[in-house]
Amino acid sequence: MTGLDGPAMRLLQQGVALLQQGRLAQAEPLLRAVLARCPASPDAHQLLGTVLAALGRPGEAEPLLRQAVQARPESADAHGNLGNLLRDLGRPGDAVACLRRAIQLRPHYPEAHNNLGAALRDLGHHAAAGASFREALRQRPGFALCHANLGGLLRHQGDMPAAEAQFRAALGAGDATAEVLAGLGASLRGQGRDRDAEAPLRQALRHEPERTECWVELGLALIGCHRAAEAVPCFEAALRLAPGLAEARLGLGVAMAAQGEYDRAERQVREAVALAPSLAAAHNALGDILRNRAEFAASEASLRHALALAPDLAEAQVNLAFTLLQTGRMAEGWAAYEHRWRAAPWVHRPRALPGRPWRGEPLAGQSILLHGEQGLGDSLQFLRFVTLFAPDTRVVLQVQQPLVGLLRCLPGHVTVLGPEDAPPPVDWHCALLSLPHRFGGRPVPAPPYLSADPAAVAEWRRRLAAAPGLRVGLAWAGSPGLVANARRSLPLRDLDALAGLAGVSFVSLQRGPAAAEPSALPLWRPQMRGDGFDDTAALVAALDLVISVDSSVLHLAGALGGPVWLLNRHDPCWRWQHGEAGSAWYPSLRQFRQTVPGHWGNVVQQVRQALQERCPQ
Task: Specify the 3-state DSSP secondary structure of 359.
Answer: coil
Residues 483 and 560 in one domain: yes
Residues 532 and 458 in one domain: yes
CA distance 74 to 97: 14
Residues 33 and 175 in one domain: yes
Residues 78 and 165 in one domain: yes
Q: 192: pLDDT confidence band, cut at 50, 70 and 90?
A: confident
Q: Is residue 228 part of a domain?
A: no
Q: Is residue 216 part of a domain?
A: no
Q: What share of the chain is helix, strand, coil (3-state, %, to 5)?
A: 60, 10, 35
- Whichever domain contains 556, its CATH number is 3.40.50.2000
Residues 36 and 89 in one domain: yes
From 438, 466, 485, give the residue that closes a domain: 438
Q: Is residue 194 part of a domain?
A: no
Q: 2: pLDDT confidence band, cut at 50, 70 and 90?
A: low
From 411, 438, 465, give the residue that closes a domain: 438
Residues 30 and 102 in one domain: yes
* DSSP annotation of 494: G
H or E element in which residue 570 lies:
none
Q: How many domains does the chain have?
A: 4
Q: Is residue 68 part of a domain?
A: yes
| Residue 592 lies in domain | 454-614
Instruction: Give residue 341's Cα distance to chain centre.
Output: 12
Residues 340 and 367 in one domain: no
Residues 388 and 320 in one domain: no
Residues 62 and 131 in one domain: yes
- Whichever domain contains 326, its CATH number is 1.25.40.10
- Contact residues for 354 (Cβ-Cβ < 8 A; gap 6+): 369, 423, 424, 425, 426, 429
Q: Is residue 353 part of a domain?
A: no
Q: Is residue 268 part of a domain?
A: no
Mean pLDDT computed over 88-96: 89
Over the stretch 216-232, which tens digit does the pLDDT of each residue have?
Answer: 999 999 999 989 999 99
Residues 34 and 177 in one domain: yes
Q: What is the pTM of this model?
A: 0.86
How far CA 562 is from CA of 74, 534, 580, in Å, comes to 87, 16, 19
- For 367, phi and psi rounded to 5 degrees? -125, 150
Over the stretch 257-285, which tens digit does the pLDDT of each residue have?
Answer: 999 899 999 999 999 999 999 999 999 99
Residues 178 and 307 in one domain: no
pLDDT at site 313 = 95
pLDDT at site 49 = 66
